[in-house]
């Protein structure tokens, strides 16, 4: 095993800064919605860096980018790493990007060390990790894992009515959705470097988290149909206000998540759409977007069932028609013990103390774990902040994560 390794943080830092300037928002805010002009510029920047590192680059129809460092045994399953560079509106510069550009830096420092991999090492930039454009997160990795087939992908629409294939073609991709799934023997292992997006590592002052499980998301849209009317002329006894039903359910989601008995259950009502949305009009329709997660499927599904039951009770009591639409309901993932052990050995070589932890946010690794042995490496996030312009991990923290990733990849590729 390689005994010493050093991240070129000056090089990586300059690339992180350059990519942060590729945004649809005013810096320091980063907005890169998939298949936008900013996303296209970010893709071209990333591909140019990969080609300069002598990696073989290809793209699939949904926009996933693969950059391969060919190993000495081309017939052996590769070792994969990577993350995403698309960003929600008004985000920061580290989410996903650390795993993409940090993954590239890990490969480059292994190359410069003279390491010769037996298994190819492939860097993957996932498309559409954020749900901003099509309403579904991790669409690129879902496609790779086969959890979304061509028909399901093409059924999705953005705000302009385009499906992912049509949106992809607008930036020059083929947009073909019928050959996205990777075979189970494509990767021998997959490792994703990511900022924690939470406060745990910073609070206990540890530099590295090694993820053992990834929480499972379930998302739903629940709509109450009421009866609109003039805010001044319809008396309170005669009202069928859809927003009041929605507000009642939003409060119940919080209570339901707290009552499962699992400390990892979280429930969020992140969307509340009210029609017609006028101050002097009684709401006739209210749609709630609800996200429920847990690392344990049983307690996650308990909270989902409780939310549905409560919605039906509110609907019956208030005499408001109800629709419930499940957007997704994904199982949690357990990280592969072999890769966890390799990451811990890397930390030992680097004299870093890691923490075994769960990921309460879900990532592309959740879906890669459907097909391949998978693990994640976390670095601290200042204040636990993410998806905001003040999201921050220090150069030293990033460098440590890249070095742990590099040594982990080296072990898996030998």
pLDDT tens readout for residues 62-117? 999 999 999 999 999 999 999 999 999 999 999 999 999 999 999 999 999 999 99
Model confidence at 1: pLDDT above 80: no
Provide mean pLDDT across the span 33-38.
96
pTM confidence score = 0.91
* Residue 148 confidence (pLDDT): 92
Model confidence at 232: pLDDT above 80: yes
Model confidence at 175: pLDDT above 90: no
Q: What is the SS3 assignment for 180?
A: coil
318-365 residue pLDDT tens: 999 999 999 889 999 999 999 999 999 999 999 999 999 999 889 999
Q: How far apart are CA 407 and CA 249, in angstroms?
A: 48
DSSP tag of 77: P
- Work out the mean pLDDT of the chain and round it to a whole number: 96
Q: How far apart are CA 308 and CA 256, in angstroms?
A: 11
Question: What angle, 0 to 180 degrees and rounded to 10, lies between the N-to-C axes of helices 97-112 and 395-413?
Answer: 60
Domains and CATH numbers, the chain: 9-215+332-413 (3.40.630.10), 217-329 (3.30.70.360)
Bridge partners of 211?
Answer: 357, 376
Q: How far apart are CA 277 and CA 150, in angstroms?
A: 36
DSSP tag of 220: E
Model confidence at 162: pLDDT above 80: yes
Q: Which residue's entry shows tokens 């996303």?
A: 39
Model confidence at 385: pLDDT above 80: yes
* Residue 4 confidence (pLDDT): 81
190-201 residue pLDDT tens: 999 999 999 999
């Amino acid at each position: 095993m390689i005994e010493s390794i050093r991240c070129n943080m000056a090089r990586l830092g300059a690339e992180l800064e350059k990519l942060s300037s590729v945004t649809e928002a005013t810096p320091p805010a980063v907005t890169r919605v998939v298949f936008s002009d900013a996303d296209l510029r970010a893709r071209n920047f990333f591909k140019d860096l990969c080609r300069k590192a002598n990696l073989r680059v290809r793209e699939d129809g949904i926009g996933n980018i693969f950059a391969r460092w060919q190993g000495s045994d081309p017939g052996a399953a590769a070792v994969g790493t990577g993350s995403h560079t698309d960003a929600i509106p008004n985000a920061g510069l580290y989410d996903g990007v650390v795993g993409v550009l940090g993954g590239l830096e890990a490969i480059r420092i292994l190359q410069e060390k003279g390491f010769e991999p037996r298994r190819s090492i492939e860097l993957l930039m996932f498309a559409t990790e954020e749900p901003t454009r099509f309403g579904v997160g991790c669409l690129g990795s879902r496609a790779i894992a086969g959890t979304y087939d061509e028909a399901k992908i093409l059924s999705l629409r953005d705000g302009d009515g385009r499906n992912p294939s049509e949106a992809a073609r607008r930036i020059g991709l083929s947009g073909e959705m019928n050959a996205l799934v990777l075979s189970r023997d494509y990767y021998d292992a997959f490792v994703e470097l990511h900022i924690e997006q939470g406060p745990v590592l910073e609070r206990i002052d540890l530099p590295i988290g090694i993820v053992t499980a990834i929480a499972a998301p379930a998302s739903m849209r629940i709509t109450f149909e009421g009866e609109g009317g003039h805010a001044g002329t319809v008396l309170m006894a005669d009202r069928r206000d859809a927003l009041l039903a929605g507000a009642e359910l939003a409060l119940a989601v919080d209570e339901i998540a707290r009552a499962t008995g699992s400390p990892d259950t979280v429930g969020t009502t992140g969307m509340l759409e009210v029609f017609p949305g006028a101050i002097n009009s009684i709401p006739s329709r209210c749609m709630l977007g609800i996200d429920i997660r847990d690392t344990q499927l049983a307690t996650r599904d308990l909270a989902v069932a409780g939310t549905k039951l409560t919605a039906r009770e509110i609907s019956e009591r208030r005499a408001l028609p109800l629709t419930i639409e499940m957007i997704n309901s994904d199982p949690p993932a357990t990280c592969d013990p072999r890769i966890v052990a390799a990451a811990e050995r890397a930390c030992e070589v680097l004299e870093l103390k890691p923490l075994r932890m769960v990921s309460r946010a879900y990532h592309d690794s959740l879906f890669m774990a459907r097909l391949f042995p998978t693990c994640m490496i976390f670095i601290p996030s200042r204040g636990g902040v993410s998806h905001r312009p003040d999201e921050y991990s220090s150069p030293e923290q990033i460098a440590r994560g890249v070095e742990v990733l590099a040594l982990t990849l080296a072990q898996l590729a030998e």
